Amino acid sequence: MATAIGVMTHAEEDTGLWSWLTTVDHKRIGAVYTVAGFIFFMIGGLEAVAVRTQLAVPNGTVLDADRYNQFFTMHALTMIFLAIMPMGAGFFNYFIPLQIGARDVAFPRLNALSLWIFLGGGLLLNSSFFLGGAPNGGWFGYAPLSSIEYAKTSGMTFYVVGLLTLGLSTLIASLNFAVTIINMRAPGMSMMRLPVFIWMVLVVAFLLILSLPVLTVGLLQLYFDRVWGTSFFSPATGGDPILWQHIFWIFGHPEVYVLILPSMGIVSEVLPVMSKKPLFGYSAIVFAGAAIGVLGFGVWAHHMFTTGLGPVPQVVFSASTMAIGIPTGIKIFNWLGTMYGGNIRFVTATYFSVAFIALFTIGGISGVMHASPPIDGHHQDSYFVVAHLHYVLFGGAIMGIFAGLFYWFPKMSGRMLDETLGKIGFWIMFVGMNLTFFPMHFLGLAGMPRRIYTYDADLGWDTWNMVATIGSYTIATSVLIFVINVIKTMRKDKDAGDDPWGGATLEWATSSPPPAHDFDVIPEVRDRDPLWYDRDHGIARAAVPEHNHIHMPPPSYFPLIVALGALLIAVGSMTHLSVLGLGAVIAIYGVWGWALEPTD
């Protein structure tokens, strides 16, 4: 299928601002996602450091109660929706086409649209700090903490509108990724030859496609409650606050797998390459991922064991929650089996991957502990849960993302990150992470509730709180070291070559960074580890034809226009109908121009 070698036009190498604003190249979009996600990661990190500073000593005075609520809420929202998911989306964008052997995603302009809506939504959410106060009712937005009676500032309205905007961006991106993986694979790339990373992205896309609409409904209902005076969630007039919890967690639990699965995929790419042997139990890991996706929809009420569900639902959800630990455990054995007997190269990416396995296992075990309702009665709303979620999110998701950054940075930039700085940074982060979050297990068991802005001395919580705060500064140091590493690396000459790690998957079969059209010739896939197969069987890369004119989609400014319209609609829903109307007109104009724009 040497199709794309048709006629003429070649995307010119163009680097001006306008070329970035109108780009439809999945690699550029992926790079912007990654960089923006990392910037939000640092903002969210500063918020966390502020929170920890307040909690360092009893009766702290750094943040007052109101500001504290804003900071811990925005910390979670930023980390989940503006840092981990976008950095994941950055990798998805960059590497889906490269790993499945395509020249771009299925809908390049939609891809740009999701990027711009994401950036707009992120700015919108953060602008709330300067416009009367940020969201302060927790990332889970429980009623009545989110209802107008108790959350009088516009903060929780920003929450509703911000998450709706980000949800739109995520839905569009997920549809795009799902179609790309289903429909744009290189010849020979059957589903059971897909890289595990791509499998995990596919599961993530479907988790989002099926869970975001539920959150959307909940947010719309909350919007109606707050703005138009309905009472979906206020019991005084017949509403039901528990309904919100159901709706939120039907989204919320799949969402935690959205956060972890990409990192599981990354680790499944890094470990085989660094151990120089194929992934142990490919089909097991794929089916475990799919099983997690399916089961993930049947466990949401484990967040609600203390709401009085009644014995039968408690037993059912307890059992399903424990069951989801099984596929998770399978994966851990797959990674260990991959390394076992391998000739392991301990580069920084390996360090982060191994740390991922260890730390994620700790978080998984505490998860199974509060899968038991009586035990959860003790854990719920205590720092024990905070310890659990940070072992899976920081120890899991973030460690995996750093593994991916070190592994793929050479492909994205053509340069190797500094290994020495990388390893120093890794150890500081590893120590800092455990210093911060391990004591939270003790604090939780000693009865310290989460989401409190201060506490009295003599409760036995002082020491571990101080340790945790020291840990948070340690983590901040390690992030700084990574930033220095990136800056230092970007200043040197390109030294990576096409395939610095001896990789097995297709992204290593093109130059670093890849050309706009990704592959000179679309590769033919003969095995699960295509590059290793070709190497072992002495199959040379297909020769590049003499007249290799590859047609790439032209840049377009319509995504920017539609995103602007969507953003104005969001702003208008918080301010004035005329803004909303203007946004609608701009969006419709953008869609119309988009539909008529020639793409070839």
- Minimum CB distance to other proteins smaller for 11 or for 435: 11
In angstroms, the CA 48 to CA 9 distance is 49
Residue type, 440: M
- Contact flag: residue 226 with Cu ion (CB under 5 A): no
- Minimum CB distance to Cu ion smaller for 253 or for 441: 253
Contacting ligand HEM within 256-295 (CB under 6 A): 256, 259-260
For residue 319, give the H/E element and its range: helix 311-339
Q: Which of 187, 298, 313, 325 binds ligand HEM (CB under 6 A)?
A: 325
The residue count for binding other proteins (CB under 8 A) is 57
Binding mask 489-528 vs other proteins (x if CB under 8 A, - otherwise)?
----------------------------x-----------
User: At closest approach, how far in Å is the CB of 93 from ligand HEM?
Assistant: 21
| Cα 153 → chain centroid | 29
In angstroms, the CA 155 to CA 263 distance is 31
Residue type, 528: R
What the block records as the tokens of 278 is 């194929």
User: At closest approach, how far in Å is the CB of 234 from ligand HEM?
Assistant: 22
What the block records as the tokens of 592 is 């119309």
Q: Which of 53, 62, 240, 369 binds other proteins (CB under 8 A)?
A: 240
The residue with tokens 């994966």 is 331
Find out whether 73 and 135 touch, Cβ atoms under 8 Å.
Answer: yes
Q: Which does 304 bind (CB under 5 to 8 A by kind): ligand HEM, other proteins, Cu ion, none?
A: none
CB atoms closer than 10 angstroms to residue 599:
11
Contacting other proteins within 175-204 (CB under 8 A): 175-176, 178-179, 182-185, 189
User: At closest approach, how far in Å is the CB of 587 from ligand HEM?
Assistant: 33
Q: Which does 5 bind (CB under 5 to 8 A by kind): ligand HEM, other proteins, Cu ion, none?
A: other proteins
Q: Give the torsion sign (CA, 253, 255, 261, 263).
A: negative
Find out whether 222 and 232 touch, Cβ atoms under 8 Å.
Answer: yes
SS3 525: coil
- Minimum CB distance to other proteins smaller for 13 or for 456: 13
User: At closest approach, how far in Å is the CB of 519 from ligand HEM?
Assistant: 34
User: At closest approach, how far in Å is the CB of 213 from other proteins?
Assistant: 4
Q: Which of 253, 390, 415, 441 binds Cu ion (CB under 5 A)?
A: 253
- Contact flag: residue 368 with ligand HEM (CB under 6 A): yes
Backbone angles phi, psi at 449, to 5 degrees: -75, 155
Backbone angles phi, psi at 364, to 5 degrees: -65, -40
For residue 391, give the H/E element and its range: helix 383-392
- Contact flag: residue 237 with other proteins (CB under 8 A): yes
Backbone angles phi, psi at 503, to 5 degrees: -70, 165
Which residues contact residue 402 at a Cβ distance below 8 angstroms, ignoring those fewer than 6 apart?
A: 352, 426, 429, 482
- Contact flag: residue 570 with other proteins (CB under 8 A): no
- Minimum CB distance to other proteins smaller for 15 or for 237: 237
Find out whether 172 and 258 touch, Cβ atoms under 8 Å.
Answer: no
User: b/e string for 118-139 if b means 16 or more Cβ within 10 A?
Assistant: bbbbbebbbebbeeebbbbbbb
Residues that bind Cu ion in the complex, under the rule CB under 5 A: 253
User: For binding to ligand HEM (CB under 6 A), which residues are involved?
Assistant: 140, 256, 259-260, 302-303, 321, 324-325, 328, 364, 367-368, 370-371, 376, 379-380, 385, 388-389, 392-393, 396-397
Q: Site residues (CB under 8 A) for other proteins?
A: 1, 3-8, 103-108, 171, 175-176, 178-179, 182-185, 189, 209-214, 216-218, 220-221, 224, 228-232, 237-240, 243, 247, 250, 517, 550-553, 592, 595-596, 599-600
